Amino acid sequence: MTAEAREAAAIIAERAPGFTPKVGLILGSGLGGLGDQIADAHAISYADLPGFPEPTVEGHAGRLILGTLGGVAVACLQGRVHLYEGHAPQVVQTLVRTLKVAGCETLIVTNAAGSLRTDVEAGSLMLISDHINLQPMNPLTGPNDDSFGPRFPPMSGAYDEKFRDRFKAVAARLGITLHEGVFVALLGPYFETPAEIRAFKVLGADSVGMSVAPEVIVARHCGMRVAAISVLTNLAAGLSYEELSHEQTLHYANLAAGDLSRLIVAFLEGLEDAA
Ligand code: HPA
């Protein structure tokens, strides 16, 4: 996985000579539109990058886009892999470490998630303050590559506090409501049962989804600074009468994508001076 990340980063350097991305972006279900706002964009299909699998889920394009967003050099994964697609969890190592080897010191992750709080409705945005990882596998299992990070990495403060403060300040300036809470990561692909959701509330979760945690674990292991924002596309199972579906996820992700894009662009503007 590490060798593939180095090879993929070499391909990126070859395709975009002299360009060094500083911030990696991972765009979730229905949120790929932000990738289209990248200036001077150069796209590379996942098919051309070793170890990058073709995404199988609607709403995930499967391209890496290099360019400038908010004046910052970015490398954007337009489409992610989910463990429920059947990929080995170590595939996530390849994607995130490619960004790291290419030059990214920061990772911004977005996703669609269910809300466990009835006061936070579909279409809202939530900054992730911490996660509870209930996925049964972990991308760091297997041999550890010490050149990326330690065998037993800490996960305290994984969601960078300064970045969260910056996102909150930017949201206030733009008049965008930005909630904050603890995200619980499940394997999926089924939407949880109402009993599971009640249990996760007791555990302290505010939102639920099927991604983010593996990427953040790999990024923190190799010392990247991380921020993550969810679009809450529905109240979680049992909290409303609506039947959950991927169509609903995409619908609300599309509705909130504009605000999320504005937020991320404004976060990036001037980031290099502020960070
Ligand atoms: N559960 C898990 N993943 C999700 C949900 C949900 O309710 N909504 C969007 N992604």
The residues carrying an active-site annotation are 29, 60, 82, 84-85, 112, 210-211, 234, 246
- From the CA of 115, how far away is ligand 1's center (Å)? 8
Handedness of CA 148, 151, 155, 156 (dihedral sign): negative
In the chain the domains, ranked by start, together with CATH numbers, are 2-274 (3.40.50.1580)
- pLDDT by residue for the chain (275 residues), tens digit each? 688 999 999 999 999 999 999 999 998 876 777 888 888 889 999 989 999 987 676 655 788 999 999 999 999 998 788 899 888 888 999 999 999 999 999 999 999 999 999 999 899 999 999 999 999 989 999 999 999 999 999 999 999 999 999 999 999 999 999 999 999 999 999 999 999 999 999 999 999 999 999 999 999 999 999 999 999 999 999 888 888 888 888 887 888 889 999 999 999 998 876 65
Rounded (to 5) percent helix, strand, coil in the chain: 35, 25, 40
Given ligand 1 and candidates 191, 211, 245, which is best to mutate, with the most ligand atoms within 8 Å of its CB?
191
Given ligand 1 and candidates 190, 192, 240, which is best to mutate, with the most ligand atoms within 8 Å of its CB?
192
- From the CA of 191, how far away is ligand 1's center (Å)? 6
Does any ligand 1 atom lie closer than 6 A to the CB of residue 244?
Answer: yes
At residue 158, φ and ψ (nearest 5 deg) are -60, -40
Cβ(197)–Cβ(244) below 8 Å: no
DSSP state of 237: T
Length, in residues, of the chain: 275
DSSP state of 136: S
Does any ligand 1 atom lie closer than 6 A to the CB of residue 230?
Answer: no
CA atoms of 202 and 111, how far apart (whole Å): 23
- From the CA of 193, how far away is ligand 1's center (Å)? 11
Write down the pLDDT at residue 151.
Answer: 96
- From the CA of 5, how far away is ligand 1's center (Å)? 29
Nearest atom of ligand 1 to the alpha carbon of 192? 1
Residue 265, classed as helix, strand or coil, is helix
DSSP state of 263: H
Tokens for 208, please give them.
């639920």
Cβ(268)–Cβ(260) below 8 Å: no
63 residue type, one letter: R
